[in-house]
Structure 1
Amino acid sequence: MRQKKSLFLLMIFILIVTSGCKSQELRHKEQDLVRVKSINGENTKKVVLLVIDSLMAQAIDKGIEQLPTIQFLIKHGQYFKNLVSSFPTMSVTIDSSLITGTYPDVHHVPGLTWYSAKEKKLINYGTGPMEIIKLGADSVLVDALVNLNDRHLNRNMPTIYEDLARSGMKSGSINGLIYRGTVDHTLSIPLWIQGPTSLPKTIPVKGPDFLTLGSLSDPLEGIQKLPDGLTRRIGFNNQHSVETAQYLIKANKLPDFLYVYLPDLDQKIHKKGPSELKGVKEVDRQLESLLQSFGSPEEALDKAVFIIVGDSGMTKILPVQDNPVIDLATFFNDYKVLRQEESVTDDTEIILAVNETMAYVYTLKADKLKDIAYLLKADPRIDVISWKEKEWIYAIQGATSKKLRFKANGKLIDDYQQKWAVEQDVEVLDLKIDTQHHSLQYGEYPDVLRRLSGALHSHPGEFLIVTAKPGYELADISSPTHKGGGGHGSFGQAESLVPLILSGTDQKPQYLRIIDLKSFLLKLLTK
C-alpha cells in the first residue's frame, strides 16, 4: 500500500523487521510551550489550517447530511470544490507548494520519489516496504528526516513559518512533514531506528515555534499522553494531531498560525477507492471535538479562522482483471534500467521514479527524450508523455500520438494571468484557445501548463514525465499498487481538484490554487 506521506509506515516497517527493539531514551526537552503563545493577545483571531489527506469534494457532497461539523463550517463560511493542487499530486510536493506558495520549479521537491543527478541516487521519502528494503532503510530515513527539509526544500524560498517569524508572529506545525522555520528543535530517534541506520540519537532541525512530528518530536511528553504507539503509527494519526491541537486551545497557548495534518483518510481511500465515506465521517467527529475545545463551534469561529483543505484527490484504480498496472520497465528491455537495490554506474541508461499515476523517466545516455517518449506512446493506458527542450515543453498524447508544444511568455493569457505560446494540437492537454481575445482556458487538466512546467523544471536532469489514464497506475518492479482502490499523482481533475472550506472570515485567495494559500494566509495574519 503506497501512502503519500508514508514516513509513519516506514517507521513501523523497520520496527517489524528489526529485532531487539528497545525503549526510547530520555528525550531532549523542548521549550515549545514556553514560546508558542501568540504575543498579540487573546482577542486576536488565530488561524488554524487543517490539511486532511485525500479529502475530496465528492465525498463531502455525497455524505453532507452525515457530516454535521463540516456542514456547520460550510454554512458559516465559504465552500469551494475546485482548489487546484500542485503536481505531482503527492503530499510532499503538495505540502511544499502550500508552505512556500510555489510550484516545484521553485521549491525543488519534485515528488515522493525522484532522481538526484547531484547525488547520483534515487531519492525516496518512503513509498512502500519493498522499495524501502531495496533502497535501504538508512537512505530513505536520512532523506525523509534530514534532507527533505534541510537540503531538498529550496533554502532560498521562505516558508510561511519563516515569513511569520520575521513579522514577529508565532506559528506551529502538528505532524506536517514540511515544517522548516527559524526555531531550533530536536528530533529524538528511537534506538530501534538507530540500530539499522546511521541516524544519531538526536537530529537538530529548524521549525516553527511549536513542532510536533509524531513521537519523534513531542512537546507534550510528560504533560499529556498521546496515542503514539506502534499500533497508532508512532503518533502520525488523526487523534494525535487533534488532541495536540486541543491541548493548545484549552491551555490558551494557540499560536497565531497553526498547521494541523490529519493523515488517516488517505489510507482508507487508497484501499477502498474514492467512494469511501466511513473515514470522512470519522474526520467530521474529530473536527467536532476540536471545535468544542473552544466551548462551542460558535465560540470557535469567534476566536479563530478555520481553513480546511484536501491535498489531492484520487481516481478509482481498476480491478486486477482489467490490467490496471503499467510496468514501465517493460518498455525499456533494450536499455540498462536501474534496479532499486543497485547503485548508478556508467552503464546505467534509464532510471524510473514512480509516483503512482505519474512517473519521471530519466535517461543518462545521449538518446533523445523524443525517442524515449516514442517507446511509451503506443500503450493506450498512457495518458500524456512530456519533456522539455530549451524553452519549449513538448507533450504527446498516448495511443493517438497527437503532439503539442508550449512555452511561457507568449500572447495567450490564462485565468491566472499567466502568458503562454501554444502550438499544434491543443487536444493533447484539453486546452481551449480564443485567438481573437488572446485567451486560454483549461479543461480536464487544471493549470496544466504551469504545473507541468513546474515539474519539468523542478530539478536538473534529462527526463520525461509520464502520466496514466484514469483507472490505471504506473509501476516499477517493486512499486506498491492499488488495484481496485484509489491512486493519484497525475494532473487530471479527479486527482487535482480538492475542497477548500473557509470559516470565520469573508476573505478568500486571489486564485483557487494551493500555491495561492500562503499569500492568503499571510494576508489574514498580518493585516
Structure 2
Amino acid sequence: MKKLVLAVIDAMKPAMLERAVATGRAPTLALLMERGHYVDECVAAFPSVTPVCAASIATGTGPAEHEIPAMNWWHRGEERYIEYGTSFGASRAFGIRQSLTDTIYNMNLEHLSKNVETVFEKLDDADIRTAGTTYLMYRGRYRHEPSVDTALSRLAHTAFGLPTMGPKELFYADMFASRKTSCRSQLGLPGVRDQHSGCVSEYMVEHDLFDFLLLSLPDNDTHSHKYGPFAQVDSIAAADRQIARVMEAAGGPDKFLEDHAVIVCSDHSQSKVEGEIDLFKAFDGFGVRAAQRSREDDEIAVCPNSRAAQVYVLDRSKRRSLIPRVERTLLALEGVDLVMRMGDHPDGEAVVRGERARGVKEVRFAPRGDLVDARGDHWSVEGDLDLLGLKIEDDQIRSATYPDAMSRVWSALRCPSAGEVLASARPGYEFLDWGGAHHVGGGSHGSLHANDSNAVLIWTGTGPEKTAREQWALRDIVPMITDHFGLA
C-alpha cells in the first residue's frame, strides 16, 4: 500500500493552475495532472470560506454535519461572536487573544461537531501513521503539548500554553511540533507558511514518519486576496516548489511516486472584488449586537463573511417578525445576489430569493422528489428556476452558475450554528468585515457563485476514474483517502 499525501493549496483557481502549467511555472503539478486525473469543478462547501471548506475536506461532510458555519458567526450557547481571523481588524474588534483561541483551539476541540470524525481520527483509529502541517482542521487522537523550542514558541506558550489533540505527527505554526526540526514558521506569518510546511514534510519523508500526510499550502490565498485571483500564477508556482521539495526528499518525482499516492486540492476559488457592501450601515435601524458588549434592545447579530453573510435573530420569539425585515433589508442592498432562509413547510424547505430586473424572484426546494442533481440526490423544486440558473432535462436538474446549489444551500441552512438568514454576494462585491476591511482591488470568496465555488482536485496513484462522478465535491476527498487505506 502506498503512502498518501493530501496537499491543500488554499484558494487555487482552476484557470490559474492551468495558466501556471501552460507557462511552465508549475511543473510538479503538471506531472501529477499528466499521470493522474484532474477536475476543474470540484465544488466547495457554502459559505465558500476556509473554515467551512477545511472542515468539509477534513470530515467528508457539509456544514449541516460538521457544524462550522462561517468565518465569523454567532455562538448562541455562549452568546458571543466567533471570529476566526477574517482580518486583523476583525480579530482586534473581538480581542486578538480570543480570536486566536477560537481559531487554534476551539474550532477543533469545541466548535467542530463531536458527531463527525476527521480523517486523522479515522486513520488514527486504524493505526495508520498520520501527520499534519499547519491546517485549520487538525483534530486527531494524539495529545500534543505546546512547543518551547524557540523564542517565538515560548512566547506563544506564555499566551496560550494549552495542549491539543491532533494527528500522530503535528507541526502547527511553531506552536506544536511533535519532533525537533530546523523548520520555523514565524508563528504562521503569511509568506512563510508554505515554506514551513514544505520543510517539515521534507523532514517527515526523509525519516519515514507517516502513512498519511496533510500538506497545507495556504499562502496562495493571502497572495490572491492582495493582488487578485488573476495574479495567482506566482503563488501557485511557489506552492509547486514545496511539493517538488517533498518529492526530492525521496529521490525525485519518479522515485517518490513509486511509494506515494498524491491528492491535490484547493478548498475554494477566488473572484475579483470591485465594490463593498456595508451590512452595519444597512442594519442601522435594527438593534445590532456590538462586538464585545450587549444591550437590552439587541435584536440581531450580523456576521459578514467576505462574499457571504449571516444574520442571527437573538430572541427566537421574534423570528417571525424579524426574519422578513432582515430579508428585505438584504435584498435592497446593491451587491447582494441571493438571500436564503428555511421556509414554513412542515417537512422543511429552503427558500432562496434575489432581486432581478423584473423584481424579486424566489425558488423553494427540499431534498425529496423526482428531480435528480449531478450528484444523484433527489429534489422537489418550485418557483423561478432561473434564479439559481437551474435547467431541467429528463428529470435531471443542473446549474453551471451555482454548482451543486441546492445541496450546498440546504446543508448551510441546516447547520445548527448557522444564522436564520444567509446571503451571497454578486460577482465583484464583498461584505465589509467587523474591522471595516475589504479586498477591493484584490480577490475574495465565500459566495455560492461558481467564481468562488469551483475548486481544483488532482489525484494520482489512488482513487477511482474521473468519470466515477459527474460532479465532484470537497466532501469526496475523505472517502478517497479511507478507500485508499482499505477502511471503507
Same fold (TM over 0.5): yes
Partner of 1:526: 486
Deviation at 1:259, TM superposition (A): 0.5
Partner of 2:220: 265
Inter-partner Cα distance in structure 2 for 1:441 and 1:88:
19
Query: Is the Cα–Cα contact under 8 Å of residues 445 and 452 in structure 2 kept in the other structure?
Result: yes
Q: 1:58 aligns with which of 1, 9, 15?
A: 15
Change (3 A) 1:461 1:243: closer
Query: Is the Cα–Cα contact under 8 Å of residues 395 and 404 in structure 1 kept in the other structure?
Result: yes
Query: Is the Cα–Cα contact under 8 Å of residues 279 and 432 in structure 2 kept in the other structure?
Result: yes
Deviation at 1:267, TM superposition (A): 1.1
Q: After superposing the two structures, state which structure 1 stretch, 481-490 or 203-212, moved more.
A: 203-212
Change (3 A) 1:192 1:288: closer
Pairs within 5 Å for 1:156-305: 156-188=115-147, 190=153, 192-193=155-156, 199=160, 201=161, 203-221=162-180, 224-229=181-186, 233=189, 237-253=193-209, 255-276=210-231, 277-305=233-261
Query: Is the Cα–Cα contact under 8 Å of residues 366 and 380 in structure 2 kept in the other structure?
Result: yes
1:73 is aligned to 2:24: no
Amino acid at match of 1:47: L
Amino acid at match of 1:114: W
Query: Is the Cα–Cα contact under 8 Å of residues 46 and 305 in structure 1 kept in the other structure?
Result: yes
Pairs within 5 Å for 1:429-468: 429-434=388-393, 437-460=394-417, 463-468=420-425
Query: Is the Cα–Cα contact under 8 Å of residues 157 and 175 in structure 2 kept in the other structure?
Result: no
Amino acid at match of 1:315: S
Query: Is the Cα–Cα contact under 8 Å of residues 90 and 433 in structure 2 kept in the other structure?
Result: no
1:200-253 CA-to-partner distances (Å, cap 9, x unmatched) read x3x1221111111110012232xx3113236x6299611110111111111222
Q: RMSD across aligned C-alpha pairs, in angstroms?
A: 2.0
Partner of 1:21: none
1:385 is aligned to 2:333: no
Inter-partner Cα distance in structure 1 for 2:190 and 2:235:
20
Deviation at 1:462, TM superposition (A): 5.4
Amino acid at match of 1:118: G
1:470 is aligned to 2:421: no
Inter-partner Cα distance in structure 2 for 1:460 and 1:245:
35
Deviation at 1:467, TM superposition (A): 1.1
Q: Taking structure 1 as the reference length, what is the TM-score of the superposition?
A: 0.85
Amino acid at match of 2:416: H
Q: After superposing the two structures, state which structure 1 stretch, 303-312 or 163-172, moved more.
A: 163-172
Inter-partner Cα distance in structure 2 for 1:477 and 1:523:
42
SS in structure 1 at match of 2:245: helix
Q: 1:336 aligns with which of 280, 287, 299?
A: 287
Inter-partner Cα distance in structure 1 for 2:268 and 2:418:
26
Partner of 2:300: 350
Query: Is the Cα–Cα contact under 8 Å of residues 75 and 81 in structure 2 kept in the other structure?
Result: yes
Partner of 1:321: none
- Aligned pair count reads 468
Pairs within 5 Å for 1:393-408: 393-399=350-356, 400-408=359-367
Deviation at 1:167, TM superposition (A): 2.0
Partner of 2:475: 515
Amino acid at match of 1:501: I
SS in structure 1 at match of 2:163: strand
| Identical-pair percentage | 28
SS in structure 2 at match of 1:385: strand
The runs of 5 or more residues in structure 1 that have no matched partner are 1-43, 319-323
Change (3 A) 1:501 1:209: same
Amino acid at match of 1:503: T
Q: After superposing the two structures, state which structure 1 stretch, 163-172 or 185-194, moved more.
A: 185-194
Change (3 A) 1:493 1:186: same
Q: 1:151 aligns with which of 88, 99, 110?
A: 110
1:79-135 CA-to-partner distances (Å, cap 9, x unmatched) read 111111111111111111111110000001111111111111111112222222221
1:361 is aligned to 2:318: no
SS in structure 1 at match of 2:448: coil
Deviation at 1:192, TM superposition (A): 4.1
1:413-435 CA-to-partner distances (Å, cap 9, x unmatched) read 1111111111111111111123x
Q: After superposing the two structures, state which structure 1 stretch, 127-136 or 420-429, moved more.
A: 127-136
1:374 is aligned to 2:325: no
SS in structure 1 at match of 2:176: coil
Q: After superposing the two structures, state which structure 1 stretch, 501-510 or 205-214, moved more.
A: 501-510
